[in-house]
Each structure stands twice: as structure tokens, then as C-alpha cells.
Structure 1
Amino acid sequence: MTSLFSTVQIGRYTLANRMVMAPMTRSRADDAGVPSDLVATYYAQRSSAGLIITEGVFPSALGKGYVRTPGIETDEQIAAWKQVTEAVHAKGGRIFMQLMHCGRVSHPSLLPEGAQPQAPSAIKAAGQTWTATGLHDFVTPHAMSVAEIAAVIEDYRGAARRAIEAGFDGVELHTASGYLPEQFLSTGSNQRDDQYGGSVENRARFVLDVLAAMVQEVGGDRVGIKISPEMNFNDISDANPQETYTYLVGQLSGLNLAYLHVALFGAKVDYHAVLRPLFNGAYLVGGGLNKEAAQALLSEGRADAAVFGSTFLANPDLPERFKLDAGLNTPNKDTFYSPGAEGYIDYPTVQGA
């Protein structure tokens, strides 16, 4: 029986266990997108995970979507992330950076010179985002030209390179939660009539072009992708998600990616049964798992590793707690996105250290 505590090969790395820390926005960067000194402590505390995937990091300033989120564009940002990777590696951990371009679900107050958010089409999303002055409604985004699309693809390429320069073991493309890659994938947000819109082949082109650039830059065995079919977060919708995601995953095989990360939240379709056979790398499953559900997925061969979110946030020593069948800390939702150490680096370990 495959155990949560057994090793697993993901890309070029042999991980110490099959417990992965999910990417989770924590809003502990400054206004320039530089992670605070607390960030290194936070991730180092959780380095017993087989793999850590960081919070979403914007590849360029136009990709920022929330206040106090970090980037990987400037020398200052790179230097701060180096402290993070060094701290994690010093404890024997592995860490990938998630690259997150928010696209239309941003706000001019968060972007350089008050720019309009970028998107495949000028379709406003319902909802709001957090800015320095509180919640503000999304605005109608700017429909990207083909030249602007090419520039963003290069932004992702450069971000992948800079992440490796900062010491990360790899990078994950965030293609869920209604952010820019999923905006291109989905019929509700992409109404283009050029090579990046219309058919499923065209709507998937942006994601595949970004992945190809990242793979060319750092190697497929250091690149992963996250998807979340039918999560419908940030007003995203698709007329035929089964067709969309079956096509997308079917096109990944030639890229030789390290992993496919699939997080399901309420989807009626068993996407794991549909997608796992189509992918030739490690298959990571997330979405509200506990120890028993994760172990069952591994035992049944439905996943190669299990991804834990707020459970890892509140339990920095989660693998140890699972080994001991110890009780779990309860996540403090009031401090998920607040600045400072409270609810960030002060959760106790099972040993009280």
C-alpha cells in the first residue's frame, strides 16, 4: 500500500513524503511586492512537507491582483525569496513557486500607473478585490492584443528563470481560481475571434504557450500546473468544462511536466478518473482533504501525492502530527490575510517547540 509517508518522484526530485503544502495567499509582502522577513520563517516551519508550493506570486507588476502580495520581477523581490529558499533547504525541504497573474480580477489601484487589468476579452467579472483602501469592485478589463499576449508569455518565462535564480526547486503555473490562464481557457471570459479564442484548441493556446516558455527556460521536470475544473471562483465559467480540461491535459504530455495539480471543490464530475490517465507525470490531488481521504486516494492509485491547504497553514509540523495521530490546530481565518506574525508563524507544533 502506498503511504503518505513514502517517497515519491516528482520531476527531477525524490520527495521525502507525499504530503504537499498547497499554495495559499497570505498577504505578507510590502507594497513593492517584496516578501517580509516573516515569510522565510513561515515556509521553513513547514519544510517537513514533501513539497511546498508557495502562495501565488505575480510574474510582472501587471499581474498583481491583491494588496500585499509578492512578486518575482525585481532584484529586491529575488533577494527576499532567496532567504526563503535558503531557509527551507537548510531544513531539507523542497519548494516550488506558484506563478499567478490575476488578469481581469485586479484593480487599477494595484497596477502600475493605474493601468486597466489585462484579460483575453473586455468582460467585467462580478465581485471585488482587496486594495490598500479596502474592497473595490472589479472593473472592465483591457482586451489584450496579440503583442501583449506575447509579452505576458515572456513575463512568465522570465519569472520562471528568476524563481530558479532565487533558489526555488521549480515553478507552478496557476491555471485556476479565475486568474488569467483560466480566463483564456473559459468561454465565459474569452470571446476572442483570433488564434487565442473560439475553439477549445485556441482557448487552450495561451496556457500551452506559457508552459512551453517556462519549460524551455527551466526544464519540464521543474514545472507543474494547477487546475481546478468547475471551481467557478472569481466569476469564471465555461460552457463545456469536461471538453476544455480533457483537451488541455491531453496536450501536456509532450511537455514532460513534473506534475499536474488538480484541486476539486464541488465538481459533480470525477475529474480525477477522467484526467489522471491522460497525464504522464506525477498527479497531485487537493481540495479539502484530511488524512484518511488522502491516504485512500494514494492507496487506490488515484493520486501520487496529496495537497493540504489550511491544515498545513495551521499545523506547520503536519507530517509529524499525522504520524502520531495527534490533534490538529484550528486555522484562524481572521489572520489569513492580515499583516504580521499572528496567525502566521505562531501556530504551535505537537512538541510545543
Structure 2
Amino acid sequence: MTSPLLLPYDGPHLTLPNRIAMAPMTRGRADDVTGVPHPLTAEYYAQRAAAGLIVTEGIWPTVLGKGGPGIPGLVTDAQVDGWHAVTEGVHAAGGTIFAQLWHVGRMTHPLNLPDGAAPVAPSPVRIEGEPIYTNQGNLAHVTPRAMTTAEAEATIADFAAEARNAVRAGFDGVEVHGANGYLIQQFLAENTNRRTDRFGGSRAGRLRFALDVVEAVAAEIGPGRVGLRISPHNPENEIAEEDPQGTYRALVDAVDPLGLAYLHVIERGAYGALADLRPRWSGTLIGNFNGTEPTSQRAGEQVLAAGLADLFSYGRLFISNPDLPARFATGAPLNAHVPGLVYGGDAEGYTDYPALGDRVGSAVRSLS
């Protein structure tokens, strides 16, 4: 019996050879000064083009949204050119690739920003726990500066401009990152949004920034090229949502009529987001389990078989297994993941994980 993950998908805006998505994952290998992708980035994504859909690592729409060393941008012509090489490689290999638009908000440090700028956020609420990584190692977070209303509106325009640049770079679409405690979720959550302007206060106010970003991006490049990623009730990066069900039902109800390419839902916390939101979403839905361990093939199959999602995304397994769909199809063993090689560096732990053909080729060579 064929795994549901390996069946083709023909949705309203996506026609894909299988239902396995490569989740966005930070790799930290861009030029830290220019924000241009590493020369090996094109090879890295092309190696994984057998995924039904690739979503890139997060890419900043403004340098104030840069979360750490080696995070790429999609603002300058040089950055656009760098990403164009990536999309060309993926398309030549038969793949589909979306760019993730990512502003970290308070999840950065002055050492990661130009001229030692203070991080910006909906409200001046500091992260007290885990440190933030910088070029000088792990440091304590600083208190972010609250964005003015005009700055919030300008940031919405930055997202739209980044989407336009993504199309220039040859991406098939974009994913707006509204998850994992970054800027958009900081606007959604009660503990990080204490504003009294139109971007805060009531639930409708807290939803406003997320909705404005999605609507602006959709208006710029067309809703069929836009995905949205959310992680309801996810405590990551010290987010505390008092009523995740109410917040995300309202968000999905407002976004669904736009006709987006997909909704990408990370299942975290006690709130069963996939089961609750699936009936409210009329388009393509991507499920994800962003736990501490790599998610198994079986987990994705169960989600699809239950009708909770149309596609399922894998992160860590794609880092170490560039040909993950082939391994799922054949039952081949998986390469071991090396956590210490995830961030920064060059080819090691990036483009040197072997594919099945590489392993066969090595065996043939050893016999000759």
C-alpha cells in the first residue's frame, strides 16, 4: 500500500508530486555583512528538490528583523541575485520552492543589528530566560523598543516588498512566518502585546498586524502564491497565549476567504490546533510537529490519513537526508542528524549528507 505521503497532490494553487514538504530551517550560512546566501545554498536546496514543496529558511524583510549571524535577507539586488541562483537550481531539479518571510522582532540583539540598534517589538517586554546567540556568543536579551504605529505600518510594507523581491528571485511563492514567538506572534500574544493603538488592546487589535501583513503580501504577488505559518499555543521564546483557540479561530476565519496557497500549522502545546482548525480552513493545510526530536514517517502518515492535513512538513530529517521521499518510499535507513553542524560553517553538515545513490556509488567503487 502506497504511503499517503507519497501520493501526488493537486490543490487549488499547488500541484505537487508528493505530500512531503521541507519545513523552513535556519542554517546561518549567509554572508553576515551583505546578507547574501552562501554559494552552497543553491546546491543545498537543489539536493532536496524531490520534496513536494520546499520552504526556505527564514529571510528578513528589513535588517531590523535579522535574528542572528548568517541570516540571509531578500532586500538588496545582491540578495535577490543570490536567491535567484537557488530557485534556478531547484527548478532545474524539478522542485517547487517558497521563500519564508521572517521578522524576529524582540528575538535578536544589538550585536546582530546595524549600528547596535535596539530590537523592535510590539511592546517593551524582555525575554528573561534563554540567551540569544550573537557573534560574541550567547548573551542575555535586552529590552526591545516598542514599535510606533508608523513603524508597524512600515514593516508591513517591508513584508510586501520582500514578497515582490521573492518573485523577482524566481520563487514560486512565499510563506509569512507567524509562528514560534517571532514578530507576528508577538503581536498575537497577550503577554507580548500591551499596545493601545490599532495593533493592540482587543483580540481584533492583536490580530490586526498579522492580517495586514498577509493582506499586503497577497495584494503584492497574488494570494495563490502566499502561505501563512502559525503555531497556536506554542510557548517557544516565552510566548503565553491566554486563549489560543479564540485567537486562532478568529485569525483563520479572517484569512480563509483570501484564498491563500496554504496554511502551515505547527502542532504544539495542549491546544489541538490541527483538529480544531482543519474544519475552518477551506484550502491546502500543511501539518507539522515541531518537537525536540525528528518527526517520523509514521507520524506524518497518521495526520494525512486522519484528514487533518493535506501535506506534512519535515525539518531535521531533511537536513540529514536530502532524498527523504526516496527513503520513505523504499524503507531505506536514515542518515544520522548531527546537531552541532546545523548552524554556520560550510559544506560539512550542509551539502555533504549522502543520498542513496551516493551510498550505492560508494559501494560499487569499493568493489572495483
* TM-score over 0.5 (shorter chain): yes
* Aligned: 1:48 with 2:50: yes
Alignment partner of 1:281 out of 280, 283, 299: 283
Task: Report whether the alignment pairs 1:25 with 2:31.
Answer: no
Quote the Cα distance in structure 1 between the aligned partners of 2:21 and 2:191.
31
Deviation at residue 2 of structure 1 after TM alignment = 7.6
Q: Is the 8 Å Cα contact of residues 65 and 102 (structure 1) preserved in structure 2?
A: yes
Task: Select the residue among 206, 221, 224 that pairs with 1:218.
Answer: 221
Matched, 1:148 2:151: yes
Q: Does 1:321 align with 2:321?
A: no
Task: Give the structure 1 partner of residue 10 of structure 2.
Answer: 9
Please tell me the residue identity of whatever aligns with 1:179.
Y
Distance in 1, matches of 2:75 and 2:246, equals 35
1:169 corresponds to 2:172: yes
Alpha-carbon separation, structure 1, partners of 2:182 and 2:227? 16
Q: How far apart are the structure 2 equivalents of 1:94 and 1:350?
A: 21
Instruction: Indicate conservation of the 8 Å contact 1:2/1:298, yes or no.
Output: no
For structure 1, which segment, 119-128 or 33-42, has the greater mean C-alpha deviation from structure 2 after superposition?
Answer: 119-128
Q: Secondary structure of the equivalent of 1:4?
A: helix
Q: 1:282 and 1:12 mapped to 2: Cα distance?
A: 8
Question: Where do 1:270-349 residues align within 5 Å?
Answer: 270-287=272-289, 288-349=294-355
Gaps of 5+ in 2: 362-368
Quickly say closer, same or farther: Cα 1:140–1:95, change in 2 above 3 A: same
CA contact (8 A) 1:10 1:259 kept: no
Query: What TM-score, normalized by structure 1, do the two folds share?
Result: 0.97
Cα distance in 2 for partners of 1:178, 1:258 equals: 23
- CA distance in 2 between partners of 1:84 and 1:68 (Å): 17
Decide whether aligned partners of structure 1 residues 253 and 39 sit closer, same or farther in structure 2, where only a CA change above 3 A counts. same
Match of 2:365 in 1: none
Structure of higher CA gyration radius:
2
Contact 2:21 2:54 in 1 (8 A): yes
Deviates more, 1:234-243 or 1:82-91: 234-243
Following superposition, the deviation at residue 317 of structure 1 comes to 0.3
Counterpart code for 1:81: W
Matches within 5 A, 1:198-213: 198-213=201-216
Correspondence for 1:235 = 238
2:244/2:271 contact within 8 Å kept: no
Identical counterparts, % of pairs: 47
- Which residue does 2:119 correspond to in 1? 117
Distance 1:11 1:38, change over 3 A: farther
Instruction: Kindly state the Cα deviation for residue 289 of structure 1 after the two structures are TM-superposed.
Output: 3.0
Structure 2 partner of 1:132: 135
State whether residues 191 and 240 of structure 2, in contact with CA within 8 Å, keep that contact through their aligned partners in structure 1: yes
Secondary structure at the residue paired with 2:357?
coil
The one-letter amino acid of 1:253's match is D
AA in 2 matched with 1:329: N
Match for 1:269: what amino acid?
Y
- Distance, in Å, in 2 between the alignment partners of 1:95 and 1:43 is 9
Which runs of structure 1 show a deviation greater than 2 angstroms over 4 or more consecutive aligned residues?
9-13
Any idea what SS the aligned residue of 1:204 has?
Answer: helix
Query: Which residue of the partner structure matches residue 39 of structure 1?
Result: 41
1:327-349 per-residue CA deviation (whole Å, 9 max, x = no partner) reads 10111000010311111111111
* Alpha-carbon separation, structure 2, partners of 1:281 and 1:299: 17
Task: Say if 1:335 and 1:342, in contact at 8 Å, map to a contact too.
Answer: yes
- d(CA) in 1 for partners of 2:156 and 2:137? 30
Q: CA RMSD in A?
A: 1.3
After superposing the two structures, state which structure 1 stretch, 7-16 or 296-305, moved more.
Answer: 7-16
- Whether the aligned pair in 2 keeps the contact of 1:98 and 1:171 (CA below 8 Å) is yes
Give the total of aligned pairs. 352
Question: Does the aligned pair in 1 maintain the 2:29–2:343 contact within 8 Å?
Answer: yes
1:62 alignment partner, SS class? helix
AA at the equivalent of 2:296: N
CA contact (8 A) 1:289 1:307 kept: no
Matched, 1:61 2:67: no
Residue 148 of structure 1 aligns to a residue whose secondary structure is: helix
Structure 1 CA distance for aligned equivalents of residues 278 and 263 of structure 2: 9
**Deviation of residue 11 (structure 1)?**
4.9
Alpha-carbon contact 1:11-1:257 (below 8 Å) kept: no
CA distance, structure 2, for counterparts of residue 225 and residue 2 of structure 1: 26
Residue 248 (structure 1) aligns with? 251
Q: What SS does the corresponding residue of 1:37 show, helix, strand or coil? A: coil
Shift in CA distance, 153/342, structure 1 to aligned 2, threshold 3 Å: same
Q: Is the 8 A contact 2:232 2:271 kept in 1?
A: no
SS of 1:81's equivalent in the other structure is helix
